[in-house]
Amino acid sequence: MEPNILDLRQQRCPMALLLAKRHTAQLKVGDMVTILISDSSSFKDIESFLLKQDYLCQSVKCDGYNSLTVVKETSLHVRNG
């Protein structure tokens, strides 16, 4: 299987967030994508959005950008009230 990498290092919000949303929406449960983000506000927005959804996220600070590894955890949209 080829690595699933979404390179958003040349993008800024709101386009970076929009592209990340579109890409992760296509993931199936258990699928993984690595998102590369250089803009710090885009990184915060993308990570915040994904953590509120059904995704597990792990970030690594690299030289000049962040690498965010994302795994789709479940297809259920269950919210605790």
pLDDT tens-digit series, residues 59-73: 999 999 999 999 998
- For strands 32-37 and 5-7, give the pairing: parallel
The closest of 66, 21, 69 to 44, measured between CA atoms, is 66
Q: Where are the domains of the chain?
A: 5-72
Per-residue pLDDT tens over the stretch 6-43: 999 999 989 999 999 999 999 999 999 999 999 999 99
Taking the C-alpha atoms of residue 76 and residue 37, their distance in angstroms, rounded to an integer, is: 27
| Fold topology of 5-72 | Translation Initiation Factor IF3 (3.30.110)
What is the pTM assigned to this prediction? 0.87
3-state DSSP of 3-27: CCEEECCCCCCCHHHHHHHHHHHCC
